[in-house]
Amino acid sequence: MKTLGIMIKRNIKLFFKDKGMFFTSLITPLILLVLYVSFLGNVYRDSFIMNMPDILLKNEEFVKVIDGLVASQLASSLLAVCCITVAFCSNMLMVQDKVNGAYQDLLIAPAKKTTLSLAYFISTFISTLIICMIAGGCCLGYMATVGWYMSVSDVFLLLLDIIILVTFGTVLSSIIGYFLTSQGQISAVGTIISSCYGFICGAYMPISSFSEGLQKVISFLPGTYGTALLRNHAMQGAFKELERLGLPKESIIDFKNGVDCNIYFFDKQVPVSTMFVILIGTVIALIMIYVLINLIKTKKSEKA
Amino acid sequence: MNIIEITNLSKSFKNIKAVQNLSIKVKEGELYAFLGLNGAGKSTTISIMCGELDADEGTVIIDGIDTKKDVQKIKNKIGVVYQKSVLDKDLSVYDNLQSRAALYGIYGSDFEKRLKELSELFLIDNLMKRTYGKLSGGEKRRIDIIRALIHKPKILILDEPTTGLDPQTRKLVWDIVNNLRKEEKITVFLTTHYMEEVTDADYVVILDSGIKSAEGTPLELKNKYTNDFITLYSVNLEDVQKLGLPYEKLPDAYRIEVKNTKEATKLIMEKPHLFVDYEITKGKMDDVFLSVTGKKLPGGLNK
């Protein structure tokens, strides 16, 4: 256990001291932030108020809720991306160790390979969680300044979403990273994840704006439900407020469909509880796959 | 007592035969040198010894333990200094050594005690808080050696430890290794392609394309594979040519090749007027390597 603890400490320190790796992990969330500040925020705001009756738009309280809604959409998008990209960048330490020979140096010692793998896993989880919790805190702070509509349970559920998504990102990156052995592969995976994940999880553009075929494909990806969970817990307070201010239920459903709070699996709406089940189930399945890969690899090397 | 016994070791990578039927015995406390060009099979042999690679054939016994039976135990007996520094450049020296010691189950006060011993031996107390990546080449090598010794191994494997280092740092590394052999009575297994590093070895094996081409003490190898040389000062070319022996013109002298020391003595007795200012030397390890493999080793100063 002490070996595991010291190796976790080593990995976390390395991640935060390697400025390149640390800042690379923040590129996608930063791009998202720039997009929102420069135009995406306004685009969403305009789309939200489009077709709204004038009487509502003249209500200052209503406009404030809309601003709060945009802020919570930014927050949920940012967190959805952060949980995955930071985990991937943090876990690239495992591959970097293989590339620069440090892993060979670790294996020359009698510590078990599984201990090293577990150390990478836990340290990635902790590093990612630290960053995502700080990002979550900043997002909540921003939402509080723009317009706060979240309940205490919403905040806790949002934090729970972050924890589950970070675990998902950690285990997914652990499985992929296990098979990577070169700097080129690190760059390729890093680039793909940074550029693509924001799109496929609906952070840059709502999934509802994609073509029907693509929506169907995306509905098979577990990360989609992670984004939807964050959206629901960040935005449901604002939706309740809109309802209180007189916005018809049908309009709120349209709103929810438009911002991916409602996800449809072959035209059937997926309830929030099912989203949790899908995401947690995926995490458990991926953890089992990762353990299995490690066991098979360890047994193979013992046999050889 | 033999601390390393390798018998009929073979290892291939697809069609490349990296090591072929290699057998060696290393005595406890020896400085044992593996000499060969890149691709000779030196690093492959080390990887098999450390349990990183499995042999296709043959056995490797380290301190009485077969690598195929209990490689984990063997890992406690071996410390390796790689050609390239492999410690974490962004961490401090202390953090690096702490994490590596933990892999051997050395923590807390045991770690602090061992670190103090090594720190006193290598004079690195002032480097502990420094970032490893910001150290000079010589300082890094010192820390690399300490990392290899953190668990008190019986065998220190130096895999081309001075390649790419400046002469001063190379000397520093060798001073440390020699001191270590004196203080800790450790067995040193060296792979190198620098000639001057093997002249001080107790035993040398020359590897060529995975095959053991020659072995012996440096003196035995020199006697067997090279001639002796007489360097004659204050003589003219005509006198040297009259000897009828192969010679080489040096800036202030002539270097004459003779079969052995006996023949050199005979020559001196026959022509004493020529041998007023002279010296007799054995052939160099370069000559041994060239004679054995037909290849020249790159780099290194010759002794």
Predicted pLDDT of residue B298: 59
Do B103 and A101 count as a contact with CB atoms less than 8 A apart? no
> Domain containing A202: what range?
2-303
Q: Is B151 in the A-facing interface, judged by CB distances under 8 Å?
A: yes
Do A14 and B50 count as a contact with CB atoms less than 8 A apart? no
CA of A3: which chain B residue's CA is closest? B102
Do A108 and B75 count as a contact with CB atoms less than 8 A apart? yes
Least confident of A146-155, A156-165, B23-32, B221-230: B221-230
Low-confidence ranges of chain B (pLDDT < 70): 296-303
* Residue boundaries of the structural domains of chain B: 2-221, 227-281
What pLDDT, in 10s, does the model give residues A63-74?
A: 888 889 889 988
Q: Which of B72, B39, B40, B46 is nearest to B60 (CA)?
A: B46
pLDDT band at A246, cuts 50/70/90? confident
Predicted pLDDT of residue A286: 95
Q: Is the dihedral of CA A188, A189, A191, A197 positive or negative?
A: positive
Above 80 in pLDDT, residue A298?
A: no
Amino acid code (one letter) for B106: I
| Cβ neighbours, 10 Å, residue B276 | 10
Task: Locate the DSSP E strands across chain B.
Answer: 2-13, 16-27, 31-35, 57-62, 65-66, 78-81, 155-159, 187-192, 203-208, 211-216, 228-233, 247-249, 253-258, 277-281
Predicted pLDDT of residue B300: 45
Considering only CB atoms, which chain B residues are within 8 Å of A304? 54
CA of B52: which chain A residue's CA is closest? A108
Q: How far apart are CA A113 and CA A301, in angstroms?
A: 10
Predicted pLDDT of residue B296: 67
Domain B227-281 sits in CATH at: 3.30.70
Q: What percent of chain A clears pLDDT 70, i.e. is strictly above it?
A: 98
Q: How far apart are CA B266 and CA A293, in angstroms?
A: 73
**Considering CB atoms only, which of B52, B72, B102 is closest to A2?**
B102
**Considering CB atoms only, which of A3, A10, A106 is closest to B91?**
A10
Do A110 and B86 count as a contact with CB atoms less than 8 A apart? no
Considering only CB atoms, which chain A residues are within 8 Å of B90? 13-14, 17-18
- Top CATH class, B2-221: alpha beta
ipTM: 0.81
Q: Which residue has the higher pLDDT, A23 or B248?
A: B248
Predicted pLDDT of residue B303: 36
Count the domains in chain A: 1
Q: What is the mean pLDDT of residues A13-30?
A: 82
**Considering CB atoms only, which of A6, A14, A102 is closest to B86?**
A102
CB B143 within 8 A of CB B127: yes
* Cβ pairs A/B, distance under 8 A: 68
Distance in Å, alpha carbon of A287 to nearest chain B alpha carbon: 24
What pLDDT, in 10s, does the model give residues B150-159?
A: 999 999 999 8
Do B99 and A7 count as a contact with CB atoms less than 8 A apart? yes
Q: How far apart are CA A195 and CA A198, in angstroms?
A: 6
Q: Name the pairing type of β-strands B57-62 and B65-66.
A: antiparallel
Do A108 and B99 count as a contact with CB atoms less than 8 A apart? no
Q: Which of A13, A2, A59, A48 is nearest to A251 (CA)?
A: A48
pLDDT averaged over every residue in chain A: 88
Predicted pLDDT of residue A79: 92
Do B103 and A106 count as a contact with CB atoms less than 8 A apart? yes
Same fold, B2-221 and B227-281: no
Q: How far apart are CA B188 and CA A109, in angstroms?
A: 18
DSSP A268: E
Q: Is A101 in the B-facing interface, judged by CB distances under 8 Å?
A: yes
Q: What is the mean pLDDT of residues A101-105?
A: 89
